[in-house]
Amino acid sequence: MEKNWVLYICLSLFTTSCIDEVKLNQEDFQSKLIVDGSISNASGPYRVLLNYSLPYTEAGLTQTVSGANVSIVEEGGQTVNLIEVSTGIYETADSFVLKGQIGKSYYLKIRTANGREYQSRPEKILPPVPIDTFKVAFQPKQAKPFELSIKTKDPVEKGNFYRWKWMHYDSISICKTSLTKNEAGNFSYKSFCCEKCWSIETCSGCIDIGSDALINGKYIEPTIARLPYESKRPYFVIVEQHSVSKEYYQFWQLVSTQINNSGGIFDNAPAQIQGNIFGVTDPNEQVLGYFSATGVTLKPIYVPRDFTNYAIRPPATPSSFEVIYLPNCQPCRGISKTPIKPLGWIE
């Protein structure tokens, strides 16, 4: 936001352009371990991602950490080993082996292939807070005109912290599309799904957090998502309301301020963001990331989109392709697809 007010002044001084790209050099760099994982009271599998960090201005894939020994420890209970399902991606094998229990604390233990050990500070799964109602507002000027917000009664005791996320599911019948352009023309090859399949869409990069510091015991009404208007059909969303620890909240709050920093003079001084992972082998080693334990409420919502008279805004259709349906079906797999029927989905 701070950048914006500067921009206002900049623009008001009749400038053509106030922002341009510059080249900067980066010296001495040391790669650090990144841990990204979570457990909750919702059923698993729970996933932990291990990577090594990249220099800030460099493009490229973060280097995955393969062959590590990863386990989740329930304090005063079982220790469950995770399986490397794909390089650098570790998962609990079966949702029945381990399910997060409200009131219990969990931490992560890692031993990398080179023998270095790491651990996370334990986090307790806090009681989830129910979502009361939701509200949809139509804002015709926005590209995504539907604004979805929820209403939650904050518990009477002080010190509740929240994180909100959402997932949009839609049933799909095409599991693969490939486009070809050649002299014969433009072709779109489509393959049907072999099973029932849902596409998943979410907001990556959104940090929606809240604290009851100022509204303790009253209603909290966060805006959750902005939704498109490509059809009048209801839009299916599962809203996740996580009850999170103070440490987790502070971590994300710092992240949120720092990624919005514009380097300007009203920025908060940037600082190292401490996650909850530390080195056991070398306590002075800087480890990045977070392993969280949260109590989550999932609320499936069919967001109505037929209460306005404005015309729908279908997505721009690409130039004409000749569609060819391929005979072989494709499995419902990948980051943005699932064959598991989402909670609250009505056929």
Stretch that binds another protein, among 77-85, 114-122, 288-296, 338-346 (CB under 8 A): 288-296
| Radius of gyration over every alpha carbon of the chain, rounded to an integer in angstroms | 23
By CB under 8 A, residue 10 contacts another protein: yes
Q: Which of residues 198-257 bind another protein (CB under 8 A)?
A: 202, 204-207, 210-211, 213-223, 250, 253-255, 257
By CB under 8 A, residue 170 contacts another protein: no
In 3D space, the residue among 3, 38, 33 whose CA is nearest the CA of residue 18 turns out to be 3
Q: Strand pairing of 219-220 and 146-153?
A: antiparallel
Whether residue 122 has a cis bond before it, omega within 30° of 0: no
Complex with another protein: residue 272 or 317, whichever CB lies closer: 272
CB of 158 to another protein, least distance (A): 10
Q: Which of residues 268-287 bind another protein (CB under 8 A)?
A: 268-275, 286
Q: Which of 288, 303, 337, 339 binds another protein (CB under 8 A)?
A: 288
CB of 166 to another protein, least distance (A): 13
DSSP annotation of 256 = H
Q: HSE (CB half, 13 Å, CA atoms) of 204? A: 4
Q: Which of residues 22-81 bind another protein (CB under 8 A)?
A: 22-24, 26, 29, 31-32, 34, 36, 38, 51, 53-62
Q: Which of residues 84-123 bind another protein (CB under 8 A)?
A: none
By CB under 8 A, residue 325 contacts another protein: no
Do residues 104 and 294 make contact, with C-beta atoms less than 8 angstroms apart?
no
By CB under 8 A, residue 347 contacts another protein: no
Complex with another protein: residue 54 or 298, whichever CB lies closer: 54
CB of 191 to another protein, least distance (A): 20
Complex with another protein: residue 135 or 181, whichever CB lies closer: 135
CB of 21 to another protein, least distance (A): 6
Do residues 285 and 279 make contact, with C-beta atoms less than 8 angstroms apart?
yes
Total binding residues toward another protein, as defined by CB under 8 A:
89
User: What is each CA distance from 207 to 100, 163, 236, 244, 325, in whole angstroms?
Assistant: 23, 8, 21, 13, 40
Tally Cβ neighbours within 10 Å of residue 267: 14
Token look-up 């949120």 returns: 256
Mind spelling out the 3-state secondary structure of 147-164?
Answer: EEEEEEECCCCCCCEEEE
